[in-house]
Amino acid sequence: MLGVTRLLCGTATPGDALRYGRQTSQMPAHLLHYSQDKKPIVVWNFTRRCNLRCMHCYADSRDQDYEGELTTQEGLALIDDLASFGVPTLLFSGGEPLMRPDLWELAAHARGRGIRTVLSTNGVLIDAAAAAKIQERGFSYVGVSIDGIGERHDRIRGKQGAFDEAIRGIRHCRQAGIRVGLRFTIHKLNSDQLGDIFRLMEDEDIPRLCVYHLAYAGRGNRMQRTDLEPAETRRVVDMIFEAAKDFHARGIEKDILTVDNHTDNPYLYLTLLRDDPARAEEVRQMLEWNGGNQSGIAIACIDNLGHVHPDQFSWHYSFGNVRDRKFGDIWTDRSDPVMDILKDRYDRLKGRCGGCRFKPMCNGNLRVRAERYWGDWLAPDPGCYLTDEEIGVAGTPWQNYEPPADAEVLDNLTAPRCTD
Ligand code: SF4
């Protein structure tokens, strides 16, 4: 996660993180990316059931029962376990978390154990009563998914009227005094609406926007052909940077972030080197503290059945189940080969990522995207949009990557999308 506004506009500085000793337990939420001890934020998909049918849903959720989901009692015990391990933030996700009635009990328990709680929702079910409960249970943030304006959102989300209902949900949150923001997953089917999303933020007085790059997981795995080409991604990221600067220049407080393409980190650094070199060095420091992709390190996912994954896009790979072992034991067990790679990938990355001069601030980007694309957790990430010259591998053997002979390379793609 890259805090574009804070880094580009200088509203966060290294001193802010140092003031808290860069310790997870001391730091406010917006500085957690710069912690030294990297305690994991946990995404808990505590139900897989959903009232919508979104095209890119990484959980491949439907409106049906899923057998074997963690019970309320198991959920309460899990929260105790996470609190003991020092997990700072628990993100209730789904499916649609508001479809499970024990959300309120579990969320209150997490707050009682000192864990910050976040709700990730499609917003459709947030009426005034639900907003009041969200507020009472102490959620520190509600992220509502919006994938376009009006009909565009409805088409991507699989339900007519979903946009209006989500906007109503956002208004209820704001009226209840809850901090609410938008989550916008960008691809070819909606990238032309990004400007409208910035306008929506302004019109509805929404303080925060997270722009998610597409991850190839669940139904999103079938959308690879609708992912942006590198040059398109670059244009979109330029637009995001410009919007952040424009809000800031006009004195309008908005927090804009990007998620799941950590190439954005070096790209922001390169942009500052060009436009504001005096600030580039301190931002480089913060980006290296941020450390780029944190799957298997400072981001974890627990699915509805209790399986622990490197992140929410890696449900095809489990490190173990919280019904069998404590979360902390699973998370620190490097006998698992993928956990070992994710915890210590720096000198093992291959191809462009292996030779890249920006590894300290990108960390090889989203490993599961490389794995889904090449069949190799150490392969270069096809989502990278920097050129070989920019990353310093032009004319070196790092330019080339050969997948292992036994890798299960996806057959619907034939060439890497790394070059501009
Ligand atoms: S080459 Fe790999 S490590 Fe370097 S910026 Fe691109 S994705 Fe990140």
Residue 411: its pLDDT value, please? 40
| Ligand 1 atom with minimal separation from the 359 CA | 3
Instruction: Please identify which residue in the block is written with the tokens 């942006």.
Output: 228
Answer whether 70's CB lies under 8 Å from 304's CB: yes
pLDDT in tens, 189-241: 999 999 999 999 999 999 999 999 988 877 777 777 788 999 999 999 999 99
Q: What phi and psi, each to the nearest 5 degrees, are found at residue 385?
A: -115, 10
Residue 420: its pLDDT value, please? 28
Residue 408: its pLDDT value, please? 58
Average the pLDDT over each of 12-16, 405-409, 416-420 and give the range with the smallest value.
416-420
- Compute the average pLDDT of residues 389-405: 91
Indicate whether 374 belongs to any domain: no
pLDDT over 70, % of the chain: 96
Indicate whether 10 belongs to any domain: yes
- Compute the average pLDDT of residues 378-403: 94
What's the distance, CA 262 to chain centroid?
Answer: 10
- Closest CA to ligand 1's atom 2: 353
Best residue among 213, 237, 262 to mutate for probing ligand 1, ranked by most atoms within 8 Å of CB: 262
Q: What phi and psi, each to the nearest 5 degrees, are found at residue 129?
A: -65, -40
Short-list 348, 359, 415, CA closest to 386: 359
Residue 407: its pLDDT value, please? 64
Mapped onto helix, strand or coil, the DSSP state of residue 266 is: helix
Q: For residue 375, how many other CB atoms are within 10 A of its CB?
A: 15
pLDDT in tens, 143-182: 999 999 999 999 988 889 999 999 999 999 999 999 999 9
Count up the domains in the chain and report the number: 1
**Alpha carbon of 51 to ligand 1 centroid (Å):** 37
Best residue among 237, 264, 268, 358 to mutate for probing ligand 1, ranked by most atoms within 8 Å of CB: 358
Average pLDDT of every residue of the chain = 92
Domain that holds residue 294: 2-334
| Ligand 1 atom with minimal separation from the 356 CA | 4
Ranges of beta strands (E only) in 16-163 are: 41-45, 89-93, 116-121, 141-145
- Closest CA to ligand 1's atom 1: 353
- Compute the average pLDDT of residues 349-370: 96
In the chain, count of helices (H) and strands (E)? 17, 11
**Alpha carbon of 413 to ligand 1 centroid (Å):** 20
Q: How confident is the model at residue 253 (pLDDT cuts 50, 70, 90)?
A: very high
Indicate whether 60 belongs to any domain: yes
Q: How confident is the model at residue 26 (pLDDT cuts 50, 70, 90)?
A: confident
Indicate whether 399 belongs to any domain: no
| Ligand 1 atom with minimal separation from the 364 CA | 3
**Alpha carbon of 359 to ligand 1 centroid (Å):** 6
Residue 285: its pLDDT value, please? 94
Gap between the Cα atoms of 273 and 277, Å rounded: 4
| Ligand 1 atom with minimal separation from the 266 CA | 5
- Compute the average pLDDT of residues 278-288: 94
Q: How confident is the model at residue 417 (pLDDT cuts 50, 70, 90)?
A: very low
**Alpha carbon of 184 to ligand 1 centroid (Å):** 23
Residue 409 has pLDDT above 60, yes or no: no
Indicate whether 117 belongs to any domain: yes
Indicate whether 129 belongs to any domain: yes
pLDDT over 90, % of the chain: 78
Indicate whether 400 belongs to any domain: no
| Ligand 1 atom with minimal separation from the 262 CA | 8
**Alpha carbon of 387 to ligand 1 centroid (Å):** 10
pLDDT in tens, 101-145: 999 999 999 999 999 999 999 999 999 999 999 999 999 999 999
Q: What is the CATH number of the domain that holds 136?
A: 3.20.20.70
Token couple for 410: 């996806």
Indicate whether 113 belongs to any domain: yes
Residue 96: its pLDDT value, please? 95
Q: Which residues pair with 308 in a beta bridge?
A: 302, 320
**Alpha carbon of 363 to ligand 1 centroid (Å):** 7
**Alpha carbon of 67 to ligand 1 centroid (Å):** 40
Residues whose beta carbon lies within 6 Å of some atom of ligand 1: 262-263, 266, 352-353, 356, 358-359, 362, 364-365, 380-381, 384, 386, 391
- Closest CA to ligand 1's atom 6: 384
Gap between the Cα atoms of 86 and 41, Å rounded: 10
Distances (CA, A) of 295 to 32, 75, 343, 344, 374: 15, 23, 8, 11, 18
pLDDT in tens, 39-68: 999 999 999 998 888 878 888 888 889 999
**Alpha carbon of 197 to ligand 1 centroid (Å):** 28
Gap between the Cα atoms of 122 and 98, Å rounded: 9
Pairing of strands 307-309, 320-321: antiparallel
Answer whether 85's CB lies under 8 Å from 309's CB: no
Gap between the Cα atoms of 244 and 250, Å rounded: 10
- Closest CA to ligand 1's atom 5: 263
